[in-house]
Structure formats: structure tokens, C-alpha cells
Amino acid sequence: MTENQLIVVTGASTGLGAATARELSRQGFHVLAGVRRERDADAIRAAGVEPIILDITVPEQIEALAARVAADPRPLRAVVNNAGIQVNAPVETLPMGEWRRVFEVNLFGHIAVTQALLPALLRSRGRVINISSIGGRIAMPTYGAYAGAKFALEAVSDSLRREVAPLGVDVVVIEPGGVRTEIAGRGIATATDLATRMTPDQKQRYGSLVRAINTLMDTGTASGLTADAAARAVARAVTVRRPRARYPIGRDAAVLLRLARFLPDRMLDRISAANLRRHRPAPAAV
């Protein structure tokens, strides 16, 4: 009976995390939904959705989550590691503090939550669901930090899967393409802000590239899946009897990942460059 099982969803304030929490509660699970602010807790609180204040970079809040799970008699069915940020800038221009922040949220925070909840998952023979991205398999220009953390999350997921599968715990990676959520808009705003801090020489080198990536991100998100549709795919990964190791979500993810599997790197470089040329701003008239 699903109502007798817990699920933890991190990053549940908005977007895919919030939609996943609601979809799993609709299916009868009791969802502990990690949010960072009280106002987000008020927005998501509902029957079957219990908000938990959780910043996955704060050890004390992770410890409190683990204590909440340990005190509950219901088994922990799954942990959905969804929290994340998107920061886009050329490798040369992104400050080291931003590199560390991206990895702290998009990689180390997930590892910390997983470590804290693995004892409960081992007892219940539960499941770890790591929300990656097509950026965890293909790194576009300006996606160095974001894709680097997602590539690392995929590697950690492979290692963990092989460690805990003999113990009865499944580890599943979700690889969404474009999803219509707030993260892309926030990413564009962050990329635009970071671009203003580039030196004049860096703006000459990368200014049009950043604008092209922002346009591509905006159009890709607008044509992507709804958060509710993506959440249903995540819920299937949680509930299916024999999950696959990876689930691409969306037609764009399926196509790009298939291309990456069969095409040489230089061919992918040319395809990426041609795609970006369509989005670069026209040269200013002389």
C-alpha cells in the first residue's frame, strides 16, 4: 500500500520537484518535500505532501531530515534527488566561487542526502532517483560547470548502483531535456548577470555566444515537456517493478543522446556550432 510508504523529494519548491511531489502524493505516497523557505512550504503543503525545510548544502538540515525519516514507522520507498541550480558562463569567465557553488548544490548536496538516507533505504530495499540532465551526457558551450556536475552525478550514480544493487537498492538516473520550469529563466538571468562582469576582451570573445545560448535555452524550454508530464515519468521510475538504469525524458533528450552515442565528437561539435549560428545576433550595421 503506497500510503504506508515515504518518499523524499528535494528541490520541491517549484518546477519538476513540486510536480513530482504532487504526482507521487496523488498516487498515495506520503511525500516529504524539501523546500528552502517557509513561503514555499505553505505553497506546496497538501494532503500527502509534508514540506520539510531543506537546503541540501546545510548539514544540520540534512540531519534533521534523516531524523524525521528514522522516526517514522513507514518504510522509505525512494529518495528523489532533484534540487539544483543552473549557472552558465564560458569556462574562462566563470569565477571559481561559482564553480564551487554549482558543484556544492548539484553534486555534493545530493551525495550528502543519499549518505544520510541510505540506512533507511537499505532497510526498506528502496530506490535512489537522481535527476540529471541531457547535460550529464552532452556538454554545450557555457555549460561547463552545470554539465560538469551532472557528468559527475552520472558517474557517482553508476558507482552507487553497482555498490548497492546486491543489497536490494536500485539507483536510477533521470535525464530530462527541455522542461517548462522556472530553472531555465533563472539560468538565463544568471548568465546575463555574469556576462556583464566579463572583461572587454572576454565580451568580444564570448558575448554573442552567451546571447545565442540564452536564446537557445529559452526556445528549448518553451517547446519542452510540461513539469507535470516530466513528473509522471519520474513517478514511473519510482514505481516500476524493474527500473532501467537511465530514463531520458522528452523527445529532444532521446534524439540528442542517440546522436551522442553514434556520432564522433568533431561531428557533434559541428552540429552544435551550426545550431548556435541560427541563434547568434546579427552583426551590427556599420
The catalytic residues are: 146
For 114, the grid coordinates are 543519499
Task: Tell me the C-alpha distance between 65 and 47, whole Å.
Answer: 19
Three-state secondary structure call for residue 176: strand
Residue 111: exposure state from Cβ atoms within 10 A (0-12, 13-18, ≥19): middle
Answer yes or no: are the C-beta atoms of 212 and 188 closer than 8 Å.
Answer: no
Alpha carbon distance 249, 7 (integer Å): 21
Distance CA 103, CA 142 (A): 15
Please tell me the total number of residues recorded for the chain in this structure.
Answer: 286
